[in-house]
Structure 1
Amino acid sequence: MKPALSIILFTTIAGAAQGMVVALALATLAGMAPATALAPLLWAATGMLLVALVASFFHLGHPLRAWRTVLMWRTSWMSREVIVLPAFIALVGGWALLATLAQRDAVAPHWLAGMAIVGAVLLWYCTAMIYACIRFIQEWAHPLTVVNYTTLGLASGFVTAGALAVMAGEPGFASDIAPWALAATALAWFTRTLSLRRNARLKPKSTTQTATGIQAARVVQKSMGMTGGSFNTREFFHGASAHAMRMARTGFQVLAFALPILLLAWALLSGSALAWLLALGSQAAGLLAERWFFFAQARHPQNIYYQAVS
């Protein structure tokens, strides 16, 4: 599939914001929420969610008609996401407002933290199911799609929370969640590796014969039939070489997982603020590459006919 920049930005930024809200909610439930940085971090998460929402509009052909998507909530995961996302933004924004107006003990009730966790998980599930429910895209049609959206969001959220806490003058909170960030990043790497190995073993269910209706034993494509290109050739194939795909696969694993784990270990042992910032930058770049790879690796059956050019 052809990766869309707007969707890459939306899923990456929103996922990190959701993970940061979960980190703050868990810290609240554990009685270790940052005293002075809770409100700024919640406002940062709200802002990230709003930026992600705006980014998603650039993928729409008619943004003014976006409201119509809610009408199909009974059958469409995208409609459900459109409903859950604003509700989650309102919940996080409301929590941020309460944290701004009152003392920490008064703005961190367990029920609010619990609702925030439920909202984040529900939004991850809705977003991931948009892709996991497409059965003819084998790379996506698996429970690991939902698992990876969740674990990647948790990893990026904990790292973002720690880095922003350091910048907000709360190094103690960053030190408290450093083991969580390290564990979440390691878990995300493990689950993503499982999906990479699974996808590498997949065999297309369609063939050139089934794509063209020609039942000869050997069918060789000489032309896609359109010298000027079409919607099919532009929107369903990324155009990257096999070498570029291999480089992207290796690159995002190094940037999103391996390097942040080393940097988080450094932060955990030394309390270094620089380590947090480097981990945030590396993981952000890696997850953008990972999300590009997620879309690019998906093979649409129509490409058996359309992607080759003589």
Structure 2
Amino acid sequence: MHPAFSVIFLTTLIGAGQGLYLAMVTGQLYSIPRFVEAQGDRFYAVGSLVALLFLIAGLVASFFHLGRPERAWRAAAKWRTSWLSREVIVLPIVMALVLAYGLAHWMVWTDPLFEIGALKVDVTLLLGVVGTLASLALFVCTAMIYADVKFLQEWHTPLTVFNFTFFGAASGFMLAAAYSAYLGNPLVSFYGTWAVILTFAALGSRLAHLYRNAHIKRKSTVQTAIGVRHNTLVQRTQGATGGSFNTREFFHGRSQRFVQNVRYLFLILVFPLPVLLIGASYVAESPNLPILAFVVQYVGLLAERWTFFAEAQHPQNIYYQSVA
């Protein structure tokens, strides 16, 4: 498939935003039993604002993929059957919950509403739990837009959902570590450790995905594409003097070596390099290395998402193989 950079930025930006929001809520939850040091409300409020900015940036990026942006609202009409429609509905809900969570912390609405045993439940905690569920639902909706496409065998697997979730969460917690490091906050090691754990989870999921895609048994052949059952068929020409919508939209136009090099690039930038940078930041007590770790990993995620789209082999490319 042809990787659209607007969609690449959409999925990576909202993934990092969701992940950062989940990191803020996780930090608050861990502070209740005092597993980590409790932070002031402004820490969670500003962190939520940064998460919201990432979500807004992703939403803005999505408009560059639309032929008629003024009709974008119509995308929500098919919510009963379309994962895209569900994403269009859930994304603003998540954004509203992130805004409400940050605002509740900024206004210090932390008086307990009720108690469950020794747990004192306030507005921020309720919004955090509801927002977490909504964020997880958004991960599923975004991933299922691709995983539900049955004729693209590379995408049609539960591993697509795991990849989107783990990558988004890992980048979000890495961003939380960078945010904490920038503030000189002691939670940098907490968020950094979780970022490493989630990065390894993403590594396992993505390697499984790559292995699966390398061993796919194709449902279509050149024989079934044109309806001729001869054993040896070779296409010599596209049948036209120039390209077409099909050859531009459903193929990335790059060589297999280029795709492979981008794959090697993201495997280095997303996994070992950020982990090493986070580890080095613990040893050197550097406030800059966690920030660099996030930047490196996010650049790697752009390459990973490009590869995700490029590695999907549209069945029509069997017919247009002289070009594709």
TM-score normalised per structure 2? 0.91
- After TM superposition, give the deviation of residue 240 of structure 1 in Å: 1.0
Q: Aligned pair 1:166/2:181, yes or no?
A: yes
* Secondary structure in 2 matching 1:60: coil
- After TM superposition, give the deviation of residue 135 of structure 1 in Å: 0.6
- 1:243-275 residue CA offsets vs partner (Å, 9 max, x unmatched): 111111110010011101111112234432121
CA contact (8 A) 1:171 1:271 kept: no
- After TM superposition, give the deviation of residue 199 of structure 1 in Å: 0.7
CA contact (8 A) 2:280 2:289 kept: yes
The counterpart of 1:191, out of the listed 205, 216, 231, is 205
CA contact (8 A) 2:19 2:170 kept: yes
The counterpart of 2:39, out of the listed 34, 40, 62, is 34
- Aligned counterparts of 2:184 and 2:201: Cα–Cα separation in 1: 26
- Aligned counterparts of 1:134 and 1:293: Cα–Cα separation in 2: 17
Structure 2 partner of 1:85: 91
Runs of 4 or more consecutive aligned structure 1 residues displaced over 6 Å after TM superposition: 103-108
Structure 1 partner of 2:167: 152
- Aligned counterparts of 1:2 and 1:105: Cα–Cα separation in 2: 51
* Secondary structure in 1 matching 2:208: helix
Deviates more, 1:176-185 or 1:251-260: 176-185
- Aligned counterparts of 2:241 and 2:104: Cα–Cα separation in 1: 60
Structure 1 partner of 2:59: 53
CA contact (8 A) 2:247 2:323 kept: no
The counterpart of 1:120, out of the listed 122, 129, 135, is 135
Residue type of the alignment partner of 1:101: M
Residue type of the alignment partner of 2:134: G
- After TM superposition, give the deviation of residue 174 of structure 1 in Å: 1.1
Residue type of the alignment partner of 2:100: G
Q: Aligned pair 1:242/2:247, yes or no?
A: no
CA contact (8 A) 1:222 1:309 kept: no
Structure 1 partner of 2:6: 6
Give the 3 Å change call, closer, same or farther, for CA 100–110 of structure 1 in structure 2. Answer: closer
CA contact (8 A) 1:223 1:308 kept: yes
Structure 1 partner of 2:155: 140
- After TM superposition, give the deviation of residue 181 of structure 1 in Å: 1.1
CA contact (8 A) 1:37 1:170 kept: no
**Mapping of 1:171-182 within 5 angstroms?**
171-182=185-196
Residue type of the alignment partner of 1:66: A
Relative contact order: is structure 1 or structure 2 higher (C-alpha 8 Å, sep ≥ 6)? 1
Residue type of the alignment partner of 1:34: Q
- Aligned counterparts of 1:21 and 1:105: Cα–Cα separation in 2: 22
- Aligned counterparts of 1:138 and 1:207: Cα–Cα separation in 2: 14
The counterpart of 1:281, out of the listed 273, 283, 295, is 295
CA contact (8 A) 2:105 2:124 kept: no
**Mapping of 1:63-82 within 5 angstroms?**
63-82=69-88
**Percent identity between the two aligned chains:** 46
Give the 3 Å change call, closer, same or farther, for CA 103–267 of structure 1 in structure 2. Answer: farther
Structure 2 partner of 1:111: 126
CA contact (8 A) 1:264 1:279 kept: yes
Residue type of the alignment partner of 2:19: G
Q: Aligned pair 1:102/2:104, yes or no?
A: no
Structure 2 partner of 1:23: 23
Residue type of the alignment partner of 2:49: W
- Aligned counterparts of 1:174 and 1:44: Cα–Cα separation in 2: 16
Aligned length: 309
- Aligned counterparts of 1:174 and 1:30: Cα–Cα separation in 2: 14
Structure 2 partner of 1:294: 308
CA contact (8 A) 1:15 1:149 kept: yes
Residue type of the alignment partner of 1:116: G
Deviates more, 1:36-45 or 1:290-299: 36-45
The counterpart of 1:233, out of the listed 247, 257, 278, is 247
Give the 3 Å change call, closer, same or farther, for CA 225–111 of structure 1 in structure 2. Answer: same
